[in-house]
Amino acid sequence: MEIFGKTILELRKMLDEKEISESELFEYFRKRIEKYNPSLNAFLTTCEISNEENKNGILNGIPFSMKDAFSTKGIKTTAGSRVLENYVPPFDATVFAKLKNSGANLIGKTNQDAWGHGSSTENSQYFTTKNPWNLGYVAGGSSGGEGASISAGLSVFGIGEDTGGSIRMPSNFCGIVGLKVTYGLVSRYGAIAYASSLDTVGPMAKSVEDIAVILEQIAGNDPFDATSTDFINPPKYTSKLKNSLVGKKIGIPKGYLEEGVDPEVSESIKNSLKIFEKFGVQIVEIDLSTTKYAIESYYLIATSETSSNLARFDGIRFGNNRESFGDEAKRRMMLGGFTLSAGYYDAYYKKAAQVRTAISNDFKKAFNEVDVIITPVSPTTAFKIGENINDPLQMYLTDVYNVSINLAGVPSLAIPSGVSNKGLPMGFQIIGKHFNEETILNFGYKFEQETDFFGVIKKGLERYKD
């Protein structure tokens, strides 16, 4: 009985037809974690199978993992930091509560850059997660543990947090699918904050259909989160995956596939656009010129908010004292404190906020012309462990194509498009209008079905097959 690489719906069928029991499925993944995690460093904490059951839930009995940024009652939650190395929350994050109500079984909490500060998990205060495709390379960040776990088949799906690419980057580097949702679509209640106006909670999985299935369970209004959507009943995302793309338009921002992008990555995306043209999609060049200021704007806003958010971790009520903060957290708190200080607020933070508005307006203008926008996720494939860690600015620039999307608050789907000559995954992201996840999932699903990159990625990881 083969389980490796199966999707949520394939496992759902196996469970429903009694080919395997919930406990047997959970044990299968638990043993895989024992076997492969010592070399991958994906998990920080593993869990026992839940005794709670919801026989009507589509995710009932499906093992999943979560980035260690989410509160889980009775289960240690560290946010990748030594400050919280012994913290056990007294409540559940809303996203976790919803998944439990759908019957899913949490198998473990995964490694991340401490507080979400990073693009490679090298800022985790525990260990660096390694890329399943090549252990000498990073898995991405900050949700790198999730990317490695799903890619190597240690969990069926996962939940990450994306502030400036932290779902999309590890998805891209590890050859899986990851969705950065519209700001507010999924509740942030119980998620340990990095930058509150940029943080989003979203699914990571093997296929676009899996992403749609998970999103139907976790999206919607939450009275505990004042920034959450008014949707009481979110759209049925799985029902629109197969819609025709004839007459649709894809926007390609000027220069995005040229300067600074690895030629192999650029060529992969250009070949992908030809696939969309077969569906009757028109490719249109658009202008997103203000996004060239996105990195500067993002890091001024994000560090300002993180300096405020991390001020609560003083070691008095819970957690260790501030001496336990790592270098990257200290760097961002100092920068944020400076940006918000008297005499500098107008010169830095206020201008960054104005740039953010300009970037958001640019996206709105572009979506008057096109249905979706396609860009790289990263200028390169995964980089070597240690390659950028001593150059913070270079590390920040790896998210150059991601942060503008968080500033604008729009959704984006990272999807694989091939494997490089070095044997590392490549991909792109499909960006949509606010609360228009069904459209980007539709584009992603049609592409995935036509190219079978799901099969290509699965074959590339056969070294992890039982």
Note the helical H segments in 121-193. 144-151, 168-174
pLDDT confidence of residue 154: 97
CB 447, CB 272: distance < 8 Å = yes
Is 67 marked active-site? yes
Rounded Cα gap, residues 298 and 309, in angstroms: 16
- How far is Cα of residue 49 from the mean position of the Cα atoms in its chain? 25
In 10 A of CB 58, how many CB atoms? 17
Reported confidence tier of residue 55, pLDDT bands at 50, 70, 90? low
CB 139, CB 147: distance < 8 Å = yes
Rounded Cα gap, residues 273 and 296, in angstroms: 30
CB 42, CB 51: distance < 8 Å = no
Reported confidence tier of residue 92, pLDDT bands at 50, 70, 90? very high
Give the tens place of pLDDT for each residue, 227-256.
999 988 889 999 999 999 999 999 999 999
pLDDT confidence of residue 396: 85
Residue 393 pLDDT > 90, yes or no?
A: no
CB 315, CB 322: distance < 8 Å = yes
Per-residue CA distances from 300 to 115, 339, 405, 421, 428 (Å): 17, 7, 16, 37, 26
pLDDT confidence of residue 13: 96
Residue 52 pLDDT > 70, yes or no?
A: no
**Active-site residue (options: 81, 166, 268, 378):** 166
Residue linked to tokens 């069928």: 13
The stretch 385-414 carries a mean pLDDT of 93
Question: Tokens at residue 132, please?
Answer: 């399943």
**CA nearest neighbour of 20 among 57, 61, 69:** 61
The stretch 310-322 carries a mean pLDDT of 93
CB 258, CB 270: distance < 8 Å = no
Rounded Cα gap, residues 187 and 192, in angstroms: 12
Helix (H) or strand (E) holding 158: strand 157-162
Give the tens place of pLDDT for each residue, 415-460.
999 999 999 999 999 999 999 999 999 999 999 999 987 777 777 7
Rounded Cα gap, residues 121 and 57, in angstroms: 33
Rounded Cα gap, residues 102 and 99, in angstroms: 5
Averaged confidence pLDDT in the chain? 95
Percent of the chain with pLDDT over 90: 89
DSSP state at residue 420: -
Is 142 marked active-site? yes
- In a 3-state reduction of DSSP, which class is residue 138? strand
Per-position DSSP letters for 22-63, written without gaps between them: HHHHHHHHHHHHHHHHHHH--EEEE-PPPS---TT-TTTT-E
pLDDT confidence of residue 198: 98
In 10 A of CB 102, how many CB atoms? 20
Rounded to 10°, the helix 437-451/208-218 angle is 160
Rounded Cα gap, residues 123 and 299, in angstroms: 17
- In a 3-state reduction of DSSP, which class is residue 450? helix
The stretch 3-30 carries a mean pLDDT of 96
- Predicted structure pTM score: 0.97
How many helices (H) and strands (E) the chain has is answered by 14, 13
pLDDT confidence of residue 199: 98
Rounded Cα gap, residues 90 and 321, in angstroms: 20
pLDDT confidence of residue 231: 85
Residue 294 pLDDT > 80, yes or no?
A: yes
Residue linked to tokens 């030809």: 274
**Active-site residue (options: 71, 119, 142, 171):** 142
Note the helical H segments in 43-143. 94-101
Helix (H) or strand (E) holding 299: helix 294-309
Rounded Cα gap, residues 79 and 87, in angstroms: 10
Helix (H) or strand (E) holding 102: none
Taking the CA of residue 319 as centre, how many other CA atoms within 13 Å lie in the half-sphere pointing to its CB?
Answer: 20
Rounded Cα gap, residues 458 and 264, in angstroms: 21
Percent of the chain with pLDDT over 70: 99
pLDDT confidence of residue 53: 57
Rounded Cα gap, residues 215 and 231, in angstroms: 13
CB 211, CB 179: distance < 8 Å = yes
Is 119 marked active-site? no
Q: Which of 219-233, 295-309, 389-403 has the lowest mean pLDDT?
A: 389-403
**Domains, the chain, ordered by start:** 8-246+372-464 (3.90.1300.10)
